[in-house]
Structure 1
Amino acid sequence: MKAIICRRYGTADDLELYDLPEPEAGEGEVVVKVAAAALNFFDTLLIAGKYQVKPDFPFSPAAEFAGTVHEVGPGVTGFEIGDRVMSYAAYGAAREYYVQKASRLVKVPDSLDLDRAAGLSVTYGTTIHALKDRAKLKAGETLAVLGAAGGTGLAAVEIGKLMGARVIACASSDEKCAFAKKHGADETINYAANDLRAELKRLGGRHGIDVIYDPVGDRYAEPALRSMAWAGRYLVIGFAAGEIPKIPLNLVLLKSCDIVGVHWGAFVARDPEAEAANMNEIVRWCADGKLSAHVHAVYPLSETAQALKDIAARKIMGKAILKP
């Protein structure tokens, strides 16, 4: 089978397209023929050795995928050859076949195409956990989303609206703001052209922003935190802008607000039943047309390096998909 392989830490151009033996299913496992694998920003960090997860070499990028069941291992029930499935892999899905524990697979209804299903696990899984489990977002609250045109940002805009929030989408260009508004944002802020703190203060009014969803970090974190409401919740999702911000804790005291970490990968491992319930809800919403699971671009496996470069250059709105 064909696979994209990382043999040493480096850049996207150091990745190789390689032939590997086709895998076999062990006890409790399923071999999935990958129809689509999705890339995320953290894949750019993973291949550079800058991510908290450091797989043994050689490994493949791509943490999520969708496809059809190719082989069922001993002890597996509930899945048959040909079933349409999706899953979270942590890494390794940029290949033609992937072996996964049957317990980690979610069936994909016929009304949901596999390209869109491939990109649901990380972005929408992270977001429903963040907004529902960690922030306990309530209908009528104001949610501000940084990086609102990216994969997780778009998911936050859409799920926030489904949960009844007023959503302020913050992004780095007018084009990205328009994209977020098309997907349900009530208000937008171009923080490349406007002062983020001033705009959040204007749109939040005297009350302030109830929940901040931040996958960006860097210089945007503190002005966003300064705009929070009393007893607000600041969701730490990631640091796509590069630097991990240093937060003055007096702001947390003065606003009596919470800074809430969202480590979705650890949540998957620690509470798989709750994560499975969240993902089943996401799949239903997407199949019913309530979530877009927007695919920005589709790349053949041989163009994985270009896909990662486009993600790093902030060119992707929604998801970048690989097609083995």
Structure 2
Amino acid sequence: MILVTGGAGFIGANFVLDWLQGSDEAVLNVDKLTYAGNLGTLKSLRGDARHVFARADICDRAAMDTLLAEHKPRAILHFAAESHVDRSIHGPADFVQTNVVGTFTLLEAGRAYWSALSPSEKSAFRFLAVSTDEVFGSLGATDPQFSESTPYAPNSPYSASKAASDHLVRAYHHTYGLPTLTTNCSNNYGPYHFPEKLIPLVITRALAGEPLPVYGDGKNIRDWLYVGDHCSAIRRVLEKGVSGETYNIGGWNEKTNIDVVNTLCDLLDELEPKSSGSYRDQIEFVKDRPGHDQRYAIDARKLERELGWKPAETFETGLRKTVQWYLTHRSWWQDVASGAYRRLESLNNE
């Protein structure tokens, strides 16, 4: 069995679904079910004995100790995090609590559990922490891409909290010998993405006939990674990654925000045309957010060179799949918009 934290969130849930589609190894899915946790994403796993869901907070040491002792996982994959930059600006305390204190608590529980394993089990165990490229700060237009040796320079409360999390993971490897792995990924997109993030926000607002807000001049650049590719990369790192190492995961897709929004509008014009005009007519430039990083870009050559991984999707193929998914799964994101998805919490825990 593997233990996945944050497995009802966007990337974590995609990973759980992907893992169980290709493996009979069970997953202990631990999620606090904050606003971003959605059990509706996991409804296809109801009744599947390979999926064990536990509603618990990673900051609760007693709960983590109990789950580890009961289920005896061979690995911890740590996805759980507060991750929305705008929310971190307006309410940073939750980010420090979950991303820093939560990671610390999980590391302490994991270290105690790992220390009591047999020598062979200790050698095979892994603690894999899923992080972000935002810990590296902002790049200029001609700066080289972020590599694994790029110094950390976080610029938002979110990225600062993730940087602290990464430093704790590194310290637990070097101080205690805990066999850790860290991945730093670029911007993910794909199915089940909470509609506060750029791509699902544009899709859902466009279909609702609402304005499509673009920060500043829309020239901020991000590297985009299809979530299915991210899941395959994490599987590869878990299988073949060297203990104590960090691996950057990127999609090799640097795009300005306005280019992303225009491409989404063009895809919607093709796949779900309006009665008149283009979805581009709904674009509205709004005041930039504080401390908005100009450019993120990932150099993922180490992952390809050492572990043989590279993304399967181009930005064009991944974005088309994403738009088609949102068009055919309207009930999922409409339940998020209405708040109905929150009622699934009790449905799973009665």
TM-score band w.r.t. shorter chain: 0.3 to 0.5
Q: So what's the TM-score if we normalise by structure 2?
A: 0.34
Q: So what's the TM-score if we normalise by structure 1?
A: 0.36
Higher percent of residues as helix: 2
Higher percent of residues as strand: 1
